[in-house]
Amino acid sequence: MNKKVSILIISIVLAIIIFIISINAQKKLVNYIPTVKCMVVINDIPQYSQITEDDIKYVDMPVEIVASSRVVQSYDEIKDLYLKDGLYKGQIVLGNQLDTSENLMIFDSEEGKEKIAIKVRESENGASYIVKKGSMVNVYATINDEYANHGILEGKEKVSIGENDRGYSVFKVLSESKVLGTFNENGEEVESSSEKNIDTILLNVSSGDAYLINLVRDIASFNVTEL
């Protein structure tokens, strides 16, 4: 009799334990919130910069918060991309916030130099050019003698390319400058000027040369020759 009572008591205790475990499990299921791993920046990162692994941490976010966004879950997804806009500390990294350097037209400038865009005219008077990204070029400015005689290009080499236009002089204003990019009239990057479709070139120049180009760009027209 005592044995039966003991077995009954043990069975009741086990049933209570199972019931409690079941209740707790159900509570967890009721309170369960599905999450997804997200990348969050821990520093402010400026526009057109790359995100480094030191700039990020991973957090689990409720799926309902980020369900409509393409969250970045792995650094490998973005390691070669650049930010379209700056990010602030604590922001979640989304896939549509980054793009390639080509699409964003990001061009690396050498240390201590500046990037400057020059609109070039179709080659004239024997000054032909075929340039592309990475080319080294000389840049010539054709300027009215009225301005030239006032010494605006003092110290720059005056050259003769074919027959100079009457009343105008040609000066070599940049020597051995590196081309960072070439663009058509719509601002689209092009590979080379072999089809004569280049409207603007982006150059890597010193701050002094950048100042000179900006000084004369409204009164001069530019040609380039590739070295």
pLDDT digits (tens, 9 = 90+) for 126-141: 334 567 888 888 888 8
d(CA 149, CA 77) in angstroms, rounded, equals 58
Strands (E), the chain: 35-41, 56-62, 82-83, 98-99, 114-119, 136-144, 157-159, 168-183, 200-205, 220-226
* Contact (CB, 8 A) for 73 and 36: yes
pLDDT at 95 over 70: yes
DSSP 11-71: HHHHHHHHHHHHHHHHHHHHH---EEEEEEESS-B-TTPPPPGGGEEEEEEEHHHHTTS-B
Q: What is the pLDDT of residue 128?
A: 43
Q: What is the pLDDT of residue 126?
A: 34
pLDDT at 96 over 50: yes
Residue burial 156-174, b: 16+ Cβ < 10 Å; e: rest: beeeebeeeeeeebbbbbb
What residue ranges define each of the domains in the chain, with the CATH number in brackets?
Answer: 35-104 (3.90.1210.10), 114-226 (no CATH)
pLDDT at 148 over 60: yes
Comparing 41 with 7, which gets the higher pLDDT? 41
Q: What is the pLDDT of residue 54?
A: 92
Share the mean pLDDT of the chain.
76
The gap between the terminal CA atoms of the chain, to the nearest Å, is 109
User: Mean pLDDT across the stretch 194-209?
Assistant: 77
* Contact (CB, 8 A) for 206 and 177: no
Instruction: Compute the residue count for the chain.
Output: 227
Q: What is the pLDDT of residue 125?
A: 38
User: Mean pLDDT across the stretch 9-23?
Assistant: 62
Least confident interval from 15-29, 125-139, 166-180: 15-29
Q: What is the pLDDT of residue 44?
A: 92
User: The pTM is what?
Assistant: 0.54
* Contact (CB, 8 A) for 145 and 167: yes
The percent of residues in the chain predicted with pLDDT above 70, rounded, is 69
* Contact (CB, 8 A) for 60 and 39: no
